[in-house]
Amino acid sequence: MRYLDPKADLTFKRVFGEHPDLVMSFLNALLPLSPGQEVTEIEYLPVELVPDNPLRKNSIVDVRCRDNQGRIFLVEMQMIWSSEFKQRVLFNASKAYVRQLDTGENYELLQPVYSLNLVNDIFELDLDDEFYHYYRLVHTEHTEKVIEGLHLVFVELPKFTPQNYSDKKMQVLWLRYLTEINERTREVPKEFLANPELKKAVKALEESAFTDAQLAGYEKFWDIISVEKTLFSSAERRGMRRGLEEGMKKGLEEGKKEGIKEGKKEGIKEGIKEGIKEGKKEVARSLKMAGIPTAIIMESTGLSEVEIEDL
């Protein structure tokens, strides 16, 4: 039996966007929900949030649903990290929060929005052993004081390693599912088959469950991811090198006025910043030449549609 990787766009949406019982189990396992606040019933909502003003930005997520308490859940699978991704998550969650009310309705009707984001990349380099990151609005000095509304969760999948968490059994199983099942899987772990939800989720990944056209799209997805990673790596190296060169030059110039040592330091910092920006443009330019859709380029680089068109 050949299985597909659940992290791909096609499979992730098939598993969590078509099976309410599976996404409920997933949300209960991964979200910071208090006892008695578990998700027990959901309805799927359109994944695209179209703005009221046509000049504003559309939002698209992988899975969007609402439970019987009115809480909204957004789920995304992100393959390549970019510094703008956190802002995009905040933007999407904020829009979902605001769109709950019609004009004149009472703010007390607002329900929490939970955004769960699985990232197949490492972005918190200084937090070696922490793969789970939970953000919400708290008082800076008295963290027990919270403004309820937005709950943002990021999971760094490459950092996850299975451990014997007796109280987090389902969380471990779901994260193992995302990180262990792929095209190389020949024998499914017994723990998966012993659990009804995981067994069903594995069954949904069987290659025979997909059409030839879907399988072709699946392969194309991984080709695009491979191209993006290669271009990002190459462009970042070129951008950093160019940034360092420009930084040294600027640093020396500034150093004549304010001291060589401090000038170099500030110049290199500015140069690196500019180099990273140039690196993103290099990536976008290469993706554009490769025929990658503008929407994907925008998501991958953080550049605007106008900036991409001007390349």
pLDDT at 272: 60
Question: How far separated are the first and last CA of the chain, in Å rounded?
Answer: 45
Written as six digits, the tokens of 85 are 């991704």
3-state class of 111 per DSSP?
coil
Collect the ranges in the chain with pLDDT lower than 70: 49-59, 103-104, 164-167, 232-276, 290
Q: For a pLDDT cut of 70, what percent of the chain falls above it?
A: 79
Could you read off the pLDDT of 113-137 as tens digits, one per residue?
Answer: 999 999 999 999 999 889 999 999 9
pLDDT at 16: 97
For residue 161, the tally of other CB atoms under 10 A from its CB is 11
pLDDT at 229: 79
Give Cα separations from 310 to 170, 268, 288, 300, 302 (angstroms): 47, 27, 11, 17, 15
